A and B are shown apart, each in its own frame.
Chain A
């Protein structure tokens, strides 16, 4: 299947700093990328949907100024958690979908963010 690489796998940062997470589709062009967060022992919650070259669409309750999403190319989307706080500590996962595999999303390995 298609490969999606997410980087970093884990990050620890201080409160007030910003953290950038990258999501890359390695062997296909991702027309759409999705960002999820997952709290311990809970399911994934969709945060936002991004299409290449356009602004991301955020789910209700997700602050777009806090979670900046950029999908500048067909193989890269980034999620920046700005002014991170301990409550932002979570597992963030991206997924990517290409024009050739509509409806089937391929997931990155996730990023464990811990804000101290």
Chain B
């Protein structure tokens, strides 16, 4: 099983700042089969990025994904008020045994 470790656990930032979130895999994720999701309390999680760097439909370009192998990054270039949420990564290289990271909470400083 591929274990995904996200860091930091919590990120405290102000609107307008840049957020950099990390997702590290215990073994290489083939074909960059990694996705990122945003989850706000009481709402359905939302797909942001798939294939490590492809933005999902309707996702603003301030969200970007990068990385390959075992190290992946989600960057939010300038935080908007609606971006404060929990973000989690998911690998689907070994589907149907998908695994998820434990999440990073981006909170208001």
Q: Do A and B come from one complex?
A: no
**Interface residues, chain B, with chain A CB atoms under 8 Å away:** none
**Interface residues, chain A, with chain B CB atoms under 8 Å away:** none
